[in-house]
Chains A and B, each alone.
Chain A
Amino acid sequence: MTFLEMLLRCVAVLMVFLVFPLVIGQTEHKVMAHMQGRLGPMYAGGFHGWAQLVADGVKFVQKEDIVPADADRRVFQLAPAVALLPYLVVLLVIPVGPGGFVGQAVDAGIFFVLAVMGIGVLGSLMAGWASANKFSLLGGLRTAAQLMAYELPMLLAAASVAMAAGTLSLPGILEQFEWWWVPWQIVGAFVFFVAGLAELQRPPFDMPVADSEIIFGAYTEYTGIRFAFFLLSEYVGILVISALTTVLFLGGWHGPLPDQLGWLWTILKTFALALVVIWLRVTFPRLREDQLMRFAWTTLIPLALAQLALTGIVKVAITS
């Protein structure tokens, strides 16, 4: 791989990182509005308010960047970057199409993705502590507790796919993929997707930012561009979780069209899942903290373990 090619891949991933989350955000504005019998943004940019998020971005940049007087300045200012950057790094290794259509293929891809995504939570925890605000601290603690509860089922579900494919590499898993993996791994897919939602703190798992109790959790004290970074990290997170579920459980680039159009399948499936994420936000009320924990420990983890056992049994049965 030449230097130029590497640069080109990095720029492409950066473009995806900057454009796709905005598309998801705009879709959320419009879809949520129509589901609730509203119109959503209609003016910015002219046609159905398509430029609303661009306008929002410009607004965020212009706002004053305030650091509270009692806050720990450096940690406070560093936190948004720690929350956002892991998702950018993860996007690098998600395969889009066959034949090396990926930013950078990593040998232990699943491990890499799950490891790096865990760091993002540290950003929320740093933000919550450094704000010197009890609501922020509560939000940060809730975020961390949620991560601890939902990381395990997520790992187990991912391990099930790795076991089925016999490899940890993401393109490798897709090369092994057969259509009947979808029903075989469907429970794992459910566990992975739900745990991913919880890790992103999306409704109905948005207890850490519950506005009726703790204002906006760890992000309460943030303004301007740093606040926008936290919002952006949520939408990149939706993209990453949807794309990962697509790659691991829905067959990624596999579909009826020839392989050259595989990238189209990946993107279509990813956006369909992103739409489900938005749909869930409109549909479900927020889970209470104890319900949230009980759901992880008494439902998701047993399901993930059952899936793991099923995968093992079938795997042994078909290879022997």
Chain B
Amino acid sequence: MSLLAAAGPLEPAARSFLSPTGVEIVFLLVGVAVLGAALVTVTTRQLVHAALWLVVALGGLAVEFLLLTAEFIAWVQVLIYLGSVVVLVLFGLMLTKAPIGRSPDADSGNRWAALAVGLATAGTLVTLVVDAFRTSWIDLGAGAGSAKATGEYLFRHWVLPFEALSVLLLAALVGAIVLSRRDDEGKKPRPRPGKLRAGKPVGTSSGKES
């Protein structure tokens, strides 16, 4: 949103919402499809199907970015998020028995809490966006979301939030490593740092951490 806001000055609505253009209709239709795919993702009882519906939802989001002329963001969405679904499926298959058909335990007692949190988040975001933009109209010229424009906004105007976010991600990464290593502390003699223990396959351990 910040990118769009930066793309042009906000002007009061000069257009009616009752005569949508073709792009706007497509945008809404894709949005409905994304919402539907997202709902199926969280309600389906089939583990791998859930991940595949997530692919549909994230791919649809990429199309939405494209329709907003944010081309670079769209490809990043495909590269990072769809790529990470592969990892998700991989861990889903490794941690379960990967059954074909319904998983009887693919349910959680927390679902009502999750629903409440989801609705609250959606409500907050929708209120925020509606309140912030109201009826203002942003004219999306071609090239407003190209790699060049995005890079300039990101590294000129938003460089501090960008760097802060990367520190946050780094902290999350380190935290994940710390959490996953907590078990064997104090039980086994700790290996000397900087040396690989003999007999430990090198590739598999580093492969999981990526």
Contacts and interface: CB of A to CB of B under 8 A. Distances in A.
B11 to A, nearest CB: 26
Contact of A118 (B82, B201, B203): B82
A290 interface: yes
B129 interface: no
A118 B83 contact: yes
A141 B82 contact: no
Nearest to B62: A115
Given A111-B147, A137-B98, 15 more contacts: A72-B100, A107-B147, A108-B71, A108-B147, A118-B86, A121-B86, A126-B48, A129-B89, A144-B87, A148-B87, A151-B83, A168-B147, A293-B203, A293-B206, A294-B203
B91 to A, nearest CB: 10
23 contacts: A72-B48, A72-B100, A75-B49, A111-B72, A115-B79, A118-B78, A119-B78, A119-B82, A122-B55, A122-B85, A125-B90, A126-B48, A130-B100, A147-B86, A168-B147, A289-B203, A290-B201, A290-B203, A292-B203, A293-B202, A293-B207, A297-B202, A297-B207
Interface in B116-137: none
A297 B206 contact: yes
Interface of A: 70-72, 75, 106-108, 111-112, 114-116, 118-119, 121-122, 125-126, 129-130, 132, 137, 140-141, 144-145, 147-149, 151-152, 168, 289-294, 296-298
A70 B206 contact: no
B4 interface: no
Main secondary structure of the interface of A (DSSP, over half): helix
Main secondary structure of the interface of B (DSSP, over half): helix
Contacts of B201: 290
B72 A108 contact: yes
Given A122-B85, A130-B100, A111 B207 contact: no
Given A111-B72, A118-B79, A149-B207, A141 B90 contact: yes
Contacts of A298: 202
A147 B87 CA distance: 10
A294 B205 CA distance: 10
A148 B210 contact: yes
Interface residues of B, number: 33
B67 interface: no
Contacts of A125: 86, 89-90
A296 B202 CA distance: 11
B93 interface: yes
A245 B140 CA distance: 35
A214 to B, nearest CB: 15
B98 A114 contact: no
A116 B59 CA distance: 11
B94 interface: yes
